Amino acid sequence: MSSQKVSVNTLPFSQVDTSGVLLIPGGQGTRRLAEDKAFIEQIETLSKQASYVLTVCTGSALLAKTGLLHGMKATSNKRAFDWACSNGQDVQWLKKARWTNDGKYYTSSGVSAGMDMILGFICDIHGEQTALSLSGQIEYIWNRDKENDPFAISK
């Protein structure tokens, strides 16, 4: 059940297809999960097996907690930035980034930035025309520049 009272159907980790792309969402639930050692270990196992790992919002905090982002570029929700950073002090946390890409890892800022990241990911994997075609189909005004971040923080 989400905090908006919408029920979300889930599968146990054992039934998850471990190939392909892993998307780690964020949200308030990440605060508790970041302290759940068994959960973080499962995220680590899935992340190692996945071809690509994408995070939205504070999902990057969970990924950082696994240690897999060591020395890598990443970003997170700008309103929970200090907390996100505390989960991986050796990560290159970017305060001005709509999204980041480093190796097989993509991380995005606050929730809406996830849309720009997903299209950026599709652009990287399937090419610009595919990304533009998809954004047109859903009438999405794509912010194509991952460094164009109107919600950047300076502190």
Query: Residue numbers of the site for a second copy (CB under 8 A)?
Result: 6-7, 9, 77-79, 109-113, 115, 136-141, 143, 150-151
The token pair that represents 59 in the structure block: 């999902």
44, 63 Cβ separation under 8 angstroms:
no
State the Cα–Cα distance between residues 31 and 79, nearest whole angstrom.
Answer: 13
105, 51 Cβ separation under 8 angstroms:
no
Nearest to a second copy of 87, 135 (CB atom): 135
Nearest to a second copy of 6, 38 (CB atom): 6
Q: In the bound complex, what is the minimum distance in angstroms from residue 76's beta carbon to a second copy?
A: 10
Q: In the bound complex, what is the minimum distance in angstroms from residue 100's beta carbon to a second copy?
A: 14
Nearest to a second copy of 24, 40 (CB atom): 24
Q: In the bound complex, what is the minimum distance in angstroms from residue 41's beta carbon to a second copy?
A: 27
108, 117 Cβ separation under 8 angstroms:
yes
Nearest to a second copy of 47, 143 (CB atom): 143
Strands of 99-102's sheet in order across: 21-24, 52-55, 105-108, 99-102
Q: In the bound complex, what is the minimum distance in angstroms from residue 150's beta carbon to a second copy?
A: 6
- Output 91-96 pairs: Cβ under 8 A, ≥24 positions apart: 91/64, 95/152, 95/153, 95/154, 95/155, 96/147, 96/149, 96/152, 96/153
Nearest to a second copy of 38, 138 (CB atom): 138
Q: In the bound complex, what is the minimum distance in angstroms from residue 52's beta carbon to a second copy?
A: 19
